[in-house]
Amino acid sequence: KKSRLCELMGLKGKVKREEHNRRRFTDPDEVGRAFVGSFLRRHYEEVVERSCNPRESGRMEVNRQDCDRYHSDLVNYVAGKPTSAIIAIDESGSQDWPDAKPQLMLVSAGSTNQQLHYKVKRNGNLHTVMPGITLCGDTLPPHVVTKRVTLDADVHATGLRFNVDVVIVHGPKGYVNSAIFRAWIIDVLIPYVDYLRPTMLGENEEAVLLMVNLKAHKKQETLQVLADARIRPVFIPPHSSHAFQVEDLLTFALLKQELRKVNAYSEVRTQAQTIARLVAATEAATTPSRNRSAFRRAAITSELVDGRHMARIDEAEYNARMAELFPGELNQN
């Protein structure tokens, strides 16, 4: 029977050792390093050691036409709107280790840079948080999605006010699906927009919802609910979250930073503690000033017009984001 290493490398038979492996090691780490070094020397033509990034950090190509369409939407639908009526929404997963780092791994010698990614192993205790923030600095009650169907009694003892501080819902996989997203629109977004009318937003004036281009966000039933409530969806270009998604640019980095700090101080992982920490981290990451800073990084700022704060597109910042997406075009110019 072939060894597992032989199967992984596609070799037909067992490899003959050119050097013995009878040395005794006292340090377990030294065993690993010594074996890897020996293995690489024996199979230098087939296997190499390379730095690999987590698969989540991989970037796909962004279409220039999609970016032009998005810029047109910003100019036509976002600019000139009251800052309180510009809402951004996105979701972020939360686990004990929210970030994965580059790692040295053994890969085939012919692997390209695009293939140097590895799948991140998670602990299965996924909770997803979906906070909505506005250009004026407000934060809508965050949605927390949990795989657990029931909530422990301790969750109520945390002092969190349901439907005020947080909205907790069940998702079979712990993610936001189309039904959860549509319920958020009906239960959270529409009441907020209705609150703005008519003093801060005209009765027939549209609010704007900025979000990523996901299937869960583009169901026909969902789009119809938004249209009936006079809320215009504006989708950022596919695969451009790292450049244009408001919450990806600042909010979620701050949220994960807060989670790392609180998780370092306590090893308690009960449902109540997990949800309480996630809500606390979200609150710390979505202060009014931080919300406005997140929009600013996405090239959306405000200006005072006749005593009212209105949205404005920062063309210089937008061009800087485009330069990140298309560095080759910048070099050609």
Where do the domains of the chain lie? Answer: 4-44, 61-100+123-332
Q: Which residue has the higher pLDDT, 122 or 277?
A: 277
Confidence of residue 98 (pLDDT cuts 50, 70, 90): very low
Please give the average per-residue pLDDT across 254-275, as a whole number.
80
Q: Is 307 left (phi over 0), alpha (psi -120 to 50) or beta?
A: left
pTM, rounded to two decimals: 0.75
Distance (Å, whole) CA 97 – CA 283: 19
Q: Tokens 């990451």 correspond to what residue?
A: 285
What sign has the CA pseudo-torsion 6, 12, 13, 16? negative
| pLDDT confidence of residue 198 | 93
Name every residue whose Cβ is closer than 8 Å to that of residue 4 and which is 6 or more positions away in sequence.
Answer: none
Distance (Å, whole) CA 276 – CA 160: 8
| pLDDT confidence of residue 127 | 82
Q: Which residue has the higher pLDDT, 316 or 31?
A: 316
Please give the average per-residue pLDDT across 147-167, as a whole number.
85
Q: Hey, what CATH topology would domain 61-100+123-332 get?
A: Nucleotidyltransferase; domain 5 (3.30.420)
Q: Which residue has the higher pLDDT, 131 or 30?
A: 131
| pLDDT confidence of residue 44 | 80
33-58: pLDDT as tens digits: 777 788 888 888 888 888 887 765 55
Token digits of residue 224: 């119809």
